Amino acid sequence: MTHADQMMGWLQQLGYTHCFFVSGGNNMHLLNAARQRMKCIPVVHEVSAGIAAEYFNESTLNEGRAFVLLTAGPGLTNVVTALAGAFLESRELLVLGGQVKSSDLATAGLRQRGIQEVDGFAVAKPVVKTAKRIEKPISRAEFETLVRGASRDRKGPVFLEICLDAQGAPVDISSPDQAMSVELRKPEVSTNSTEIDDLVERLSASSRPVLLLGGGLGRGESRALISKIEKFGVPVMTTWNAADRFDSGHRLYFGRPNTWGQRSSNLILQNADLVIAAGTRLGLQQTGFNWREFVPKGDVVQIDIDRAELDKGHPKVALRICGDVIHVLDQVLRRAKTNSSWPAWVTEAKKIRTRIPLSEEVNGKYSGFVNPYEFALNLSDLCDDRGTVIPCSSGGAFTVMMQAFNQKLGQVVITNKGLASMGYGLAGAIGAALADRSRRTVLVEGDGGFAQNSQELATVAVQKLNLKIFIFANNGYASIRMTQKNYFGGAYLGCDVESGLGFPDWQKLATAYGLRSMTINEGFENDKNFLSSWNDNEACLYVVPIHPEQTYFPKISSQVTASGSMESAPLHKMSPPLPDELLRELGLDLD
């Protein structure tokens, strides 16, 4: 038995079942050991392995867990984007990398000694929770502590770079190392009880509270919380990372506020007198770059497991509680007293929500093209509560889906907005689809974003995934076109074919990979051909024609200032402005 066998056995006992990999000489022992114990899924590019494993684990649909296996040098450099994405979104990700023999490692001052050698440890370090180079066999206890670090406290990627000789080293399986290690202690929740008392008092005294749930609240945890919130009757909103924690049809659900958020949600949030931000880091995208005007009429209470997020200095937070979000919310909902003004606040908020649609007329309709907001609404109706929905993570398709998609409780919705990278959609959808093959997985991605990882259509075909892929075809990078138009007088460069950026014929590309495809148009939701492909269990690629000049309103406008910096409107001032009479009717007096 080799140390590689031993490590794979340990991983198996820790619940790992799936290995996304790209092979190479420097990870050969690890792959040979994984082959015998895991479902090994070859992907074309390492970055896809990383993203797929992140989404597999995030979807938490089965008992299994996925990790990534890659080779040294280019294997590692190719996965860095996925490490950064998982790091920024606090997602569990274990990456095992090969490395040259310990005797071939470059010594100080050398760029390289071993073939393909790159200092993976140093490259990965800034974008992982833990990085370690393993030059000789390590104990089970050490290995487990390293691996479990990915899913403890604030989750994040762990990168272990294992030298070829350490992988292949023979190990004595009768050594005491083999005993099961003791279960690691659950993290102590050191929440300060006077802070919880303070929050209980603030909530009971507030007349217009909003509970903003973030991705720090797990899917299982939020299920248990819903009935408690119902008894309480306070308006609930979610961040993008918690998009699937609440049903969009629930009477207490008031959407997703954000810089690219739902206008009604932004208005309600900005009218609150207390916002309890639970399990969200309240980053700039969430609060608006103009964070000084976040919740201008009320106080913000933030609950986060990471002290650094609470102390970062923005937005203004009246009460900061460091702790496990479910633990804090449980106590607060048990002890706070309901306030008699809440039903009227819910009614007021409901009116705002009903009067301001998710698809605004200002975006218009172009004949022969699909309106992306109407598309997202129609897609919401088509998706059942057992589906997995993967909006991509950049461009118009991402923001439209997060603005207009109506999720059902039971669905899994995953994006990676922290990195907001092109190319995340397809790789993520592959990971999520493999996490539960009985579900239909739906991917919505822009043509620019899709082009970055389209090589994984090969994986979709080989794995025979029930994956429905919608590509917003709008002649390239519409977002960049818009920037170049608004700020640089239409000096277009590298955003479409005319300005030098190439794209394939998507249907021909699908055919090349042996996949079905069709172009859909307005009314697709009732089209027989579409519905028959939608309802079977096979992959299909749908080209969705979106007009290249399609607008994406409402949005927060920004201006370049005299000093070259940017200045943004607060969350409640989305463009174009609402008519004064509507604002008056809704009782919105935010200036």
Ligand X SMILES: Cc1ncc(C[n+]2csc(CCOP(=O)(O)OP(=O)(O)O)c2C)c(N)n1
**Is the Cβ–Cβ distance between 389 and 371 less than 8 Å?**
no
**Is the Cβ–Cβ distance between 19 and 34 less than 8 Å?**
yes
Looking at the Cβ atoms of 73 and 372, the one nearer to ligand X is 372
Q: Please choose, out of 169-177, 252-260, 392-400, 460-468, the segment that lies near ligand X by the rule CB under 6 A.
A: 392-400
Length of the chain: 591
Using CB under 5 A, pick the residue from 165, 447, 456, 496 that binds Mg ion. 447
- Binding of Mg ion at residue 446 (CB under 5 A)? yes
Residue 290 binds which one of Mg ion, ligand X, none, with CB within 5 to 8 A depending on kind?
none
Nearest Cα to 5, choosing from 181, 162, 182? 162
CB of 395 to ligand X, least distance (A): 2
- Separation CA 262–CA 268 (nearest Å): 10
- Separation CA 27–CA 168 (nearest Å): 10
CA gyration radius, the chain: 25
Distance, first Cα to last Cα, the chain? 71
* Token pair for 447: 């043509």
Using CB under 6 A, pick the residue from 157, 255, 396, 428 that binds ligand X. 396
CA distances (Å), origin 357, targets 261, 301, 351, 554: 12, 29, 11, 11
- Binding of ligand X at residue 403 (CB under 6 A)? no
- Binding of Mg ion at residue 391 (CB under 5 A)? no
Looking at the Cβ atoms of 222 and 479, the one nearer to ligand X is 479
- On the CB side of 346, CA atoms within 13 Å amount to 16
Residue 480 binds which one of Mg ion, ligand X, none, with CB within 5 to 8 A depending on kind?
ligand X
Residue 243 binds which one of Mg ion, ligand X, none, with CB within 5 to 8 A depending on kind?
none
CB of 519 to ligand X, least distance (A): 16
Show the beta-strand stretches assigned E in 396-475. Answer: 412-413, 441-446, 467-473
- Separation CA 520–CA 545 (nearest Å): 7
The count of chain residues that interact with ligand X, using the rule CB under 6 A, is 16
**Is the Cβ–Cβ distance between 144 and 105 less than 8 Å?**
no
Looking at the Cβ atoms of 80 and 389, the one nearer to ligand X is 80
Residue 58 binds which one of ligand X, Mg ion, none, with CB within 5 to 8 A depending on kind?
none
Residue 449 binds which one of Mg ion, ligand X, none, with CB within 5 to 8 A depending on kind?
ligand X
Residue 301 is inside which H or E element, if any?
strand 299-304
Binding string to Mg ion for residues 71 to 110, with x set by CB under 5 A, is what? ----------------------------------------
- Binding of ligand X at residue 477 (CB under 6 A)? yes
Cis amide prior to 545 (ω within 30 degrees): no
* Token pair for 506: 């998507």
Q: Which residues pair with 42 in a beta bridge?
A: 21
Please name the residues in contact with 256: beta carbons below 8 A apart, sequence gap of 6 or more: 237, 238, 239, 240, 243, 262, 265, 402, 403
Using CB under 6 A, pick the residue from 200, 420, 461, 583 that binds ligand X. 420
CB of 457 to Mg ion, least distance (A): 17
- Binding of ligand X at residue 157 (CB under 6 A)? no
CB of 418 to Mg ion, least distance (A): 21
- Binding of ligand X at residue 395 (CB under 6 A)? yes
Using CB under 5 A, pick the residue from 57, 239, 265, 474 that binds Mg ion. 474
- Separation CA 343–CA 351 (nearest Å): 12
Using CB under 5 A, pick the residue from 448, 545, 554, 570 that binds Mg ion. 448
Looking at the Cβ atoms of 389 and 422, the one nearer to ligand X is 422
Looking at the Cβ atoms of 434 and 473, the one nearer to Mg ion is 473
Q: Please choose, out of 4-12, 22-30, 48-56, 470-478, the segment that lies near Mg ion by the rule CB under 5 A.
A: 470-478
Looking at the Cβ atoms of 397 and 429, the one nearer to ligand X is 397
The count of chain residues that interact with Mg ion, using the rule CB under 5 A, is 5
CB neighbourhood size of 350 (10 A): 16
The residue ranges that bind ligand X (CB under 6 A) are 394-397, 420-422, 446-449, 474, 477-480
The residue ranges that bind Mg ion (CB under 5 A) are 446-448, 474, 478
